[in-house]
Structure 1
Amino acid sequence: MTFTQDLSPTSSPSAADPKSSAEGAVSGADRRRWLALAIVMTAAFMDLVDVTIVNIAIPSIERDLAASFGAIQWITAGYALAFAAGLITGGRLGDIYGRKRVFLLGMTGFTLASALCGFAASPEMLVGSRLLQGAMAALMVPQVLAIIHVTFPAHERGKVFGMFGAIVGLGAVSGPLLGALLTQWNLFGLEWRPIFLINLPVGIAGLILGRRFITESRADKALRLDLVGVALATLALLMLLYPLTRGRETGWPLWGHVCMVGSLAVFAAFVAYEKYKARKDGSPLVELSLFRVKSFAAGIAVQLTFGVVLGIFFLVWTLYMQVGLGWSPLKAGLTGVPFSIAVSVAAGMSVQKLVPRFGRKVLQAGALTMATGLLLYIWEAGQYGTGITPWQMTAPLVIMGAGMGLIVAPLTDAVLSGVPREHAGSASGLINTTGQMGNALGLGLVSVVFFGTVDEAAPVPAQLGAVFVDAFQNALWWVVAVLALIFVVMSALPAKPKQEAGAH
């Protein structure tokens, strides 16, 4: 690992006062790495919020730019597609050229793309800016976990990933709430534009502080970018995710099914080429040997299926509240606050206090807890119908949030715990990519498990609320089933975290 000398806790103390100099070096390095953590966490939060913040502002964007339905789809889906397609490549670029350098490059591009989104004069300009924003996020986001992995010693990573889990929970529900507030306030008469422009001061501050406090690191061994691997991985991901993202709106055409089946062949070609590339020069895009690490392989499987859960739940939950119950975006956003708090609290406790003692049982308890919250939500939705109130939703949301918090933080830690430092970027890109793939699969399933019920009922406007309640309950039963599968897959995770020994 290459660290700049002034940040290293092992820098040589001066001869005059070895003890105080050594303590000063450790103190300085400690302060710097925690500041670096705050910077990369802020970047992760920006990305999480940007995935969901746009949905709330769609009516305002549609009016202001006279955007067609197709353009609106691309404004929302374009970011996700560009982000998912570039994550593996973005992670590997950090390993090769330096994680700090690629992170700052991604943050610069993300901030500029946010400005272009905020000042977009046409639907086409907004779509293009969102694609650029997603591509830049794909450079920035994989470096977050990689920088954490190489900057913090094993015994500190539990605490750090607990914080990361809290940020994930906060970001999951903050997007709609923040989008609702910014749109409703109509700052300076800009309507929807502040949802993008808010990234500018945050991004500029992150760049200034990141240059100073983030430690540079890259793979010990000289690696080259695998361009064929990049092309195959990107093509395979687009062939899978594009039809899933656009499937329902386009009536699930034949070409979509052909693309999804064909993506399996491209993925197979990608794996075969990566094996060849590893033998040829030891510089593949994806280090397939990572999958021989049991904690990584099992964790990736859990990440994929958990992404399905999140993809289904958050979309149907938003539709249920805003369309089925007729709630305003602000009311719906505020309803999610207890969920966010529960995720944050549980994430902090899970890694620091529970996982070192109980290991993977904590994650399994999280899956069971989340399923319990969903069952309570299903019962309440049926019991109270369209007359349900936000405070009646508090109990199931808190239970679900606690369950999610017990999963998200320890899972990231478990997946990365056995990964060699030189492959941290590649592994981080894979974690994020599988999560995005799961999310896209979940969004695709919504058309079956939620809209299938709605379309079958063919409701008149007066019955729409009751039909959406039924569809919401049906979708949640599917989420419970996926969580049962996750509980089983979690059995393959290590019984206890590898870094536990390093903590004592």
Structure 2
Amino acid sequence: MTSTPLPSEQTDEAGAPDRRRWFALAIVMTAAFMDLVDVTIVNIAIPSIQEHLGATFSSIQWITAGYALAFAAGLITGGRLGDIYGRKRLFLVGIGGFTLASALCGFAANPEMLVASRILQGAMAALMVPQVLSIVHATFPAHERGKVFGLFGAIVGLGAVSGPMLGALLTEWNLFGLEWRPIFLINLPVGIAGLILGSRFISESKAPKALRLDLIGVLLVTLGLLMLIYPLTRGEELDWPLWGHLSMAGSLAVFALFVVFERYKTRKDGSPLVELSLFKVKSFAAGIAVQLTFGVSLGIFFLVWTLYMQIGLGWSALRAGTTGIPFSIAVSLAAGLSVQKLVPRFGRKVLQTGALTMAAGLLLYIWEADRYGTAIQSWQMALPLVVMGLGMGLIVAPLTDAVLSEVPREHSGSASGLINTMTQMGNALGLGLVSVVFFGVIDDKLAPEAVGVAFVDAFQNALWWATAVLVVIFCLMFALPARPRVGMEGADEPAADAPVVKEPVLTP
């Protein structure tokens, strides 16, 4: 019986590695970019959505937090489903559902429908996104993954800030009189193309041994995440009720029960939702902690930054979007350099330098916001944004590589789901904290002429919090390996823990 070779081992007729696997990479990276853009593109259109749908600030917060909440709650399950039923299959289901949800967002008739559609969109992204890293992990040999994760880091940087730029253009152009709706409808042609090309060019892979979905584990982890994030998101709006505090405290007990059950499930049939053995890998455990806190920092910054520019300073969507271009360029450049040139030579010091550089950029931004007030100009923001972008670029690409480098391939879907869950959980926590560190210091009854100054002050307060989180990240990074591993021993050889590849890559 002839076994199908792993995609990374396939060769063309001349005996050279099959370059067509890079087409598969382009497809999954495009899907990842679409998701990243969709997270940030909404922020820039908030004033337009508020005006044309009559959305309240509470609805606006849920349009962003609802997506993050559904995304975080479903990522671990999405990653494990890929391990069980096939990463290609789940990727296609996810991108198809994401495209449908985008259409529903684009045609939403009221704030409630938009919030519900965003929650569905987040749930579908939870099926799609974990497969991206696990497909990369299963397709490319260890010596190529550094280059691939460098590209991934660049995509993260582009998606983080090109989203606001694209959202600004689409909102300002008011295509066909649709106002803000094209920010969602633009996903339709991209999603359809990804669905068609992905079905042809992505190879199927799954865990080598038969696994079953841990339904009780799914219930417990989803319940724990909802109990923690929901009251945090609505706390300020509801004046921090007692049930909210009890829910957040109770989430810790639910997570503890989840760990106990996962240990039992591992002993019983070897099919837990989360492979707890992954946390015995020092690089993975430390990286997960960094991902969580890094997500908190980004969740705080990107939303308050948009509110500060558009509502506090009164800038148009286009002006706010173009202001972020230096950040996007800096992230992309630093991400590529960090993996290819810097990390192999300096190890984790590169990531720690990135954390300190981001913190320096935030401090510079705080100083400028205080000095120039509401008279600050876009060009004056360029320097802190470039400094922040360089710092972020030094973190995003090598961090992903460090977390996954020692993970067995059979658990790559579960590990990928955990990585994304921690990032999105941090992001959701950060969005929830916005109600405390930003809206919490703004008077509910402001005179129109006082709005600008109040938002500037709140922006500075939020950035102090984000800076403190980055200091915590710097300290956590001491637990990462001092030097990167070139690759797991035997990673490039088909082994018992290699994914089962059901068909050759790029089979028509």
Q: TM-score band (shorter)?
A: over 0.9
SS of corresponding position for 1:498: coil
Aligned equivalents of 1:202 and 1:453: distance in 2? 40
- Cα deviation for residue 323 of structure 1 reads 1.9
TM-score, normalised on structure 2? 0.91
Which among 265, 270, 285 is matched to residue 277 of structure 1?
Answer: 265
Residue 16 of structure 1: aligned partner: none
How has the CA–CA distance of structure 1 residues 480 and 54 changed in structure 2, closer, same or farther, with 3 Å as cutoff?
closer
Residue 466 of structure 1: aligned partner: 453
- Cα deviation for residue 50 of structure 1 reads 1.4
SS of corresponding position for 1:345: helix
Residue 497 of structure 1: aligned partner: 484
Residue 437 of structure 2: aligned partner: 449
Which among 11, 15, 31 is matched to residue 22 of structure 1?
Answer: 15
Aligned equivalents of 1:501 and 1:91: distance in 2? 21
Matched, 1:249 2:249: no
Aligned equivalents of 1:129 and 1:345: distance in 2? 35
Which among 447, 467, 475 is matched to residue 488 of structure 1?
Answer: 475
**What amino acid does structure 2 have at the position aligned with 1:473?**
Q
Aligned equivalents of 2:409 and 2:184: distance in 1? 35
Aligned equivalents of 2:53 and 2:290: distance in 1? 41
Trace 1:347-362 onto structure 2 (pairs within 5 A). 347-362=335-350
- Cα deviation for residue 80 of structure 1 reads 1.8
How has the CA–CA distance of structure 1 residues 303 and 70 changed in structure 2, closer, same or farther, with 3 Å as cutoff?
closer
Any idea what the Cα deviations from partners look like across 1:387-430, whole Å, max 9, x if unmatched?
Answer: 11111111111011000000011111100011000000101111
SS of corresponding position for 1:286: coil
Residue 54 of structure 1: aligned partner: 42
Residue 17 of structure 1: aligned partner: none
- Cα deviation for residue 124 of structure 1 reads 4.1
Aligned equivalents of 2:324 and 2:57: distance in 1? 28
Residue 181 of structure 2: aligned partner: 193
Contact 1:161 1:410 in 2 (8 A): yes
Any idea what the Cα deviations from partners look like across 1:220-272, whole Å, max 9, x if unmatched?
Answer: 11111001101111111111111122222222222211111111111111111
Contact 1:4 1:216 in 2 (8 A): no
Trace 1:3-402 onto structure 2 (pairs within 5 A). 4-5=4-5, 7=7, 9-10=9-10, 21-23=14-16, 26=17, 29-30=18-19, 32-66=20-54, 71-402=59-390
SS of corresponding position for 2:305: helix
Aligned equivalents of 1:68 and 1:3: distance in 2? 58
**What amino acid does structure 1 have at the position aligned with 2:369?**
A
Aligned equivalents of 1:283 and 1:488: distance in 2? 34
How has the CA–CA distance of structure 1 residues 465 and 60 changed in structure 2, closer, same or farther, with 3 Å as cutoff?
closer
Aligned equivalents of 2:96 and 2:432: distance in 1? 32
Aligned equivalents of 1:390 and 1:21: distance in 2? 54
Contact 1:36 1:210 in 2 (8 A): yes
Any idea what the Cα deviations from partners look like across 1:39-98, whole Å, max 9, x if unmatched?
Answer: 111111111121222233344444544556655444333222211111000000001111
**What amino acid does structure 1 have at the position aligned with 2:137?**
H
Matched, 1:478 2:465: yes
Any idea what the Cα deviations from partners look like across 1:122-144, whole Å, max 9, x if unmatched?
Answer: 44443332222111110000111
- Cα deviation for residue 447 of structure 1 reads 2.7
Aligned equivalents of 1:440 and 1:298: distance in 2? 20
Aligned equivalents of 1:413 and 1:341: distance in 2? 21
Aligned equivalents of 1:69 and 1:450: distance in 2? 13
Any idea what the Cα deviations from partners look like across 1:310-337, whole Å, max 9, x if unmatched?
Answer: 1111122112211221111211111011
SS of corresponding position for 1:418: coil
Matched, 1:422 2:410: yes
Contact 1:4 1:215 in 2 (8 A): no
SS of corresponding position for 2:45: helix
Q: Which has the higher contact order (CA 8 A, sep 6+)?
A: 2
Structure 1: unaligned runs, 5 residues or longer:
14-19
**What amino acid does structure 1 have at the position aligned with 2:413?**
G
Matched, 1:440 2:428: yes
Q: Greater CA deviation, 332-341 or 65-74?
A: 65-74
- Cα deviation for residue 6 of structure 1 reads 9.1
Q: In percent, how many aligned pairs have the same letter?
A: 79
- Cα deviation for residue 380 of structure 1 reads 1.5
- Cα deviation for residue 384 of structure 1 reads 1.6
Aligned equivalents of 2:40 and 2:185: distance in 1? 15
Q: Greater CA deviation, 256-265 or 397-406?
A: 256-265
How has the CA–CA distance of structure 1 residues 379 and 127 changed in structure 2, closer, same or farther, with 3 Å as cutoff?
closer
SS of corresponding position for 1:499: coil
Aligned equivalents of 2:378 and 2:49: distance in 1? 28
Contact 1:53 1:175 in 2 (8 A): yes
**What amino acid does structure 2 have at the position aligned with 1:467?**
A
**Count of aligned positions:** 490
- Cα deviation for residue 212 of structure 1 reads 1.6
Backbone CA RMSD of aligned residues: 2.2
How has the CA–CA distance of structure 1 residues 69 and 387 changed in structure 2, closer, same or farther, with 3 Å as cutoff?
closer
Aligned equivalents of 1:390 and 1:10: distance in 2? 50
Aligned equivalents of 2:66 and 2:458: distance in 1? 27
Aligned equivalents of 1:373 and 1:3: distance in 2? 52
SS of corresponding position for 1:223: coil
Any idea what the Cα deviations from partners look like across 1:150-169, whole Å, max 9, x if unmatched?
Answer: 11111111111111111111
Aligned equivalents of 1:474 and 1:265: distance in 2? 32
**What amino acid does structure 2 have at the position aligned with 1:493?**
L
SS of corresponding position for 1:270: helix
Any idea what the Cα deviations from partners look like across 1:4-29, whole Å, max 9, x if unmatched?
Answer: 55956356x8xxxxxx5423xx2xx2
**What amino acid does structure 2 have at the position aligned with 1:479?**
A
How has the CA–CA distance of structure 1 residues 204 and 486 changed in structure 2, closer, same or farther, with 3 Å as cutoff?
same
- Cα deviation for residue 209 of structure 1 reads 1.2
SS of corresponding position for 1:146: helix
SS of corresponding position for 1:22: coil
TM-score, normalised on structure 1? 0.92
